[in-house]
Amino acid sequence: WKTLDDIDMKGKAVLVRVDLNVPVEDGSVTDATRIERIVPTIRDIMAKGGKPVLMAHFDRPKGKRVPEMSLSLIREDVERILGVPVVFADDCIGAPAKTAVAALKEGEVLLLENTRFHEGEEKNDAMFAASLAALGEVYVNDAFSAAHRAHASTEGVAHRLPSAAGRLMEAELKALTAALTEPERPVVAVVGGAKVSTKLDLLGNLVRKVNTLVIGGGMANTFLAAQGHDVGTSLAEHDMADTVREIMAKAEEAACEIVLPVDVVCATEFKAHADHVTVPADACPSDRMILDAGPETVARIAQVFEGAKTLIWNGPLGAFEIEPFDAATVAAARKAAELTKAGHLVSVAGGGDTVAALNAAGVADDFTYVSAAGGAFLEWMEGKTLPGVAALDQD
Ligand code: 3PG
């Protein structure tokens, strides 16, 4: 892909697709990571004499003007974090946007209103994409985390202007390529989370690409149940047994080792500090639910990490949001962080829950790379082409 180094932006309005879909509670941004991550791109564009015009979606207003989903709510946060004046345009196309672009001074940034206030955004409507494209002379996509959407601002516009990847987009692509497309082997993937059914494509792709696949969370219960173990009242998809067996067969064919829990923590209910016992994976009492992997499993995972060169992680190993059932996730994350710091492992993680779990374990900064993407990270791991990436000009 072309990067900011390949295009001339001096004196030009640069239309930049960013992801400002940040969590907001009671009017305050609770996690500004996505805003912080766009800083290098915006600074670089300004240093090259370009005038950044930021284009983003916020939540899912479905083509309607929803006041609680206005990007004006986070304008001040963007201004504070970028450290330059940020002007707001009340619409992302038409007269308000055009006038604001024309009035934009060097040293200022323009933030356009939520692109999803228009139906044309998600429909990738040609007229709407043309109206967006009319606002700039160059297009930069820095929203890897929205690149799995073939929307007007992520895909359509790229075909209408000279385009380039922003610094965050570049960093994401580089890290994910190093982890999955051209990794140093052996590669281990950790996949956790609630359901096998939502991660079928992911598991199908990973067994062909990685040497070891560690399965955790509710998904592991489904695997244990498919092997004929009683999983008590655990969250498990019993109707997925055949699918699980197919995945196991595919893994065997591809010489990918699947690591399942060998011991489990079984609780009486889904509640912090609920009464719990640690038992072998085939011995969950029928009136209890598995909420975490046990210490023997953690030791096995640590051993796998020690023998690996690359780790790609998506999804917690247990009910990490309630103590003490975060123990396996925290211990495994710390092991990965330790090996990464010692230079033995390249570790890449992504997905909302995963990043929250790594933050809770206090190790997110020690990983080689933590993606800002949720759905896009998953689709990349599934081996899919991301439309927002594919549409960018090639080198
Ligand atoms: C995200 O939050 O993962 C991205 O901003 C994409 O948002 P979406 O799932 O609403 O398209």
Interior angle at CA 294, CA 291 and CA 295, nearest 5: 150
Q: At residue 200, does pLDDT exceed 90?
A: no
What was the pLDDT predicted at 8?
95
Residue 178 forms part of a structural domain: no
Residue given tokens 């990685």 in the structure block: 210
Q: Which residues of 308-338 are buried (b: 16+ CB within 10 A; e: fewer)?
A: bebbbbbbbbbbbebebbbbbbbbbbbbbbb
Local structure of residue 177 (DSSP, 8 states):
I
Q: How far apart are CA 349 and CA 111, in angstroms?
A: 30
- Whether residue 178 contacts residue 312, with contact meaning beta carbons closer than 8 Å, is answered with no
Residue nearest to atom 6 of ligand 1 (CA): 146
Note if 123 is an active site residue.
no
Q: In what order do the strands lie in the sheet with 369-370?
A: 257-259, 212-215, 187-191, 310-314, 346-349, 369-370
Contacts of 221 (CB under 8 A, 6+ apart): 231, 234, 235, 236, 290
Q: At residue 172, does pLDDT exceed 90?
A: yes
Regarding whether 235 and 145 lie in a shared domain, the answer is: no
Regarding the beta carbon of 64 and ligand 1, being less than 6 Å apart is answered no
Counting the structural domains of the chain, the total is 2
Regarding whether 213 and 96 lie in a shared domain, the answer is: no
Residue 38 forms part of a structural domain: yes
Q: Point out the catalytic residue in the list 12, 17, 34, 209.
A: 34
Q: Point out the catalytic residue in the list 63, 94, 204, 375.
A: 375
Residue 176 forms part of a structural domain: no
Please, where are the H alpha helices in the chain?
Answer: 33-37, 39-47, 75-82, 94-103, 119-123, 126-133, 167-176, 200-209, 217-226, 241-253, 295-306, 327-341, 352-360, 375-381, 387-390
pLDDT band (50, 70, 90) for residue 390: very high
Predicted-complex ipTM score:
0.98
What was the pLDDT predicted at 146?
97
Closest approach atom of ligand 1 to CA 59 = 10
Residue 386 forms part of a structural domain: no
Regarding the beta carbon of 31 and ligand 1, being less than 6 Å apart is answered no
Q: At residue 351, does pLDDT exceed 90?
A: no
Regarding whether 157 and 203 lie in a shared domain, the answer is: no
Regarding the beta carbon of 59 and ligand 1, being less than 6 Å apart is answered no
Regarding whether 152 and 280 lie in a shared domain, the answer is: no
Regarding whether 191 and 98 lie in a shared domain, the answer is: no
What was the pLDDT predicted at 308?
98
Instruction: Give the CATH number of the domain where residue 324 resides.
Output: 3.40.50.1260
Q: At residue 352, does pLDDT exceed 80?
A: no
Specify the higher pLDDT residue, 374 or 54. 54
9 Cα: distance to centroid of ligand 1 (angstroms): 28
Regarding whether 188 and 160 lie in a shared domain, the answer is: no
Nearest residue to 56 (alpha-carbon basis) of 142, 160, 180, 167: 142
Share of the chain above pLDDT 90, in %: 90
Nearest residue to 14 (alpha-carbon basis) of 53, 70, 71: 53
pLDDT in tens, 285-311: 999 999 999 999 999 999 999 999 999
Of 168, 201, 225, which one is at a domain's C-terminal end?
A: 168
Q: Candidates 21, 31, 314, 371: which one to mutate for ligand 1, based on the most atoms within 8 Å of Cβ?
A: 21
Strand partners, 370: 349
Interior angle at CA 17, CA 161 and CA 15, nearest 5: 45
Tokens of 273: 């500090």
Parallel/antiparallel/unpaired status of strands 212-215 and 346-349:
unpaired
Residue nearest to atom 7 of ligand 1 (CA): 146
Residue 148 forms part of a structural domain: yes
Closest approach atom of ligand 1 to CA 373 = 3
What was the pLDDT predicted at 393?
83
Regarding whether 189 and 299 lie in a shared domain, the answer is: yes
Regarding the beta carbon of 62 and ligand 1, being less than 6 Å apart is answered no
pLDDT in tens, 22-31: 999 988 998 8
Across 182-201, average pLDDT: 91
68 Cα: distance to centroid of ligand 1 (angstroms): 17
Domain hosting residue 336, numbered range: 183-381
pLDDT in tens, 227-237: 999 999 999 99
Regarding whether 375 and 284 lie in a shared domain, the answer is: yes
pLDDT in tens, 35-44: 999 999 999 9
Regarding whether 209 and 156 lie in a shared domain, the answer is: no
Does the N-terminal peptide bond of residue 316 adopt cis geometry, omega within 30 degrees of 0?
Answer: no
Note if 362 is an active site residue.
no
Regarding whether 50 and 157 lie in a shared domain, the answer is: yes
Q: What is the largest CA-CA distance in the chain?
A: 69
Of 138, 168, 198, which one is at a domain's C-terminal end?
A: 168
114 Cα: distance to centroid of ligand 1 (angstroms): 13
Across 180-194, average pLDDT: 93
Regarding whether 91 and 234 lie in a shared domain, the answer is: no
Of 168, 200, 221, which one is at a domain's C-terminal end?
A: 168
Regarding whether 258 and 334 lie in a shared domain, the answer is: yes
Residue 306 forms part of a structural domain: yes
- Whether residue 54 contacts residue 111, with contact meaning beta carbons closer than 8 Å, is answered with yes
Q: How far apart are CA 172 and CA 145, in angstroms?
A: 9
Tokens of 200: 């079928």
